[in-house]
Structure 1
């Protein structure tokens, strides 16, 4: 394989992006398939956000470009990347700039009902952030549903085992 491939796992807060990505990674490790995993949310974690980059897009892209260059130099060509909105059309340009114009992008949107998501967030958000996180999650779910490109693979996570979800996601890549 000469060109890079990026599996973008998007979805609302509480849908299981990180958990699924780590399980996909476990499946790939078991198959001895070289790959990398990046939590996209961490690529732009600066506070306060720069005035000229309020949504942290520029710092995220700079970090992705630098980290990917290191991976590519070592021969890696497959990236698993999680971020809520990574499946949206405007993200493709960032990955093309960071990984090369011929990068193959596989978009997977994980979905879950409000009830399922709330149950997951209650277990995760033990501080003062639960109400805001749930409201943001509902808003992002609607945005993702409306704006994800037609080639986005939608995978429901309600009531399913993470191993089954990860298997479905991995099958979508052809890896």
Structure 2
């Protein structure tokens, strides 16, 4: 289980974490590279919510199965609440080479994105507030390894920038 490359796609709601995980997955599939995706939001859907640790505990339980895949590159879209959550995430993924990419866009754009995608005002308003909370933080630079904008560019372009920064293809993926 040592030396599994894990990319944490971190950022505000609406930044494009899940979307870019799908696009990066396709780039890796086309290159015939082993990859997996564990969406932290998806593995924590339970009502009533058992709390933030629920997703991490689920991740801890399934991590050994993913880590056993030879040459795996794991994509992990999530929002890291703070530096302590990053420490806990690292503990949940023993043997992982963890890299955190923060995705970013202007706050107004992020709010437009979450408003457009959510099914009702309850979820829209909750995520707009989360955007405010995320952008009020002063620790984001200490959590990320690098930053990629998802604003005014294609999803493919942003995904290829990430893959290039990671060196996962062994060459530049840009034409």
Q: TM-score by structure 2 length?
A: 0.84
Structure 2 counterpart of 1:37:
37
Q: How big is the shift at 1:85?
A: 1.5
Q: How big is the shift at 1:94?
A: 3.1
Matched-pair contact (CA < 8 Å) for 2:10–2:79: yes
Matched-pair contact (CA < 8 Å) for 2:86–2:143: no
Unaligned runs of 5+ in 2: 169-175
Structure 1 Cα separation of the partners of residues 71 and 88 of structure 2: 18
Unaligned runs of 5+ in 1: none
Structure 2 counterpart of 1:72:
67
- In the TM superposition, structure 1's runs of 4+ consecutive aligned residues that sit over 4 Å from their partners are none
Q: How big is the shift at 1:39?
A: 0.6
Q: How big is the shift at 1:68?
A: 1.5
Matched-pair contact (CA < 8 Å) for 1:15–1:110: yes
Structure 2 counterpart of 1:56:
52
Structure 1 counterpart of 2:154:
161
Structure 1 counterpart of 2:12:
12
Equivalence map 1:4-153=2 (5 Å): 4-50=4-50, 55-57=51-53, 59-75=54-70, 77-85=72-80, 88-100=82-94, 102-128=95-121, 129-143=123-137, 146-148=138-140, 149=142, 152-153=145-146
Matched-pair contact (CA < 8 Å) for 2:80–2:86: no
Tell me, what secondary structure is at the counterpart of 1:9?
strand
Q: TM-score by structure 1 length?
A: 0.84
Task: Provide closer, same or farther for how the CA distance between residues 158 and 126 of structure 1 changes in structure 2, counting only shifts above 3 A.
Answer: same
Q: How big is the shift at 1:76?
A: 5.3
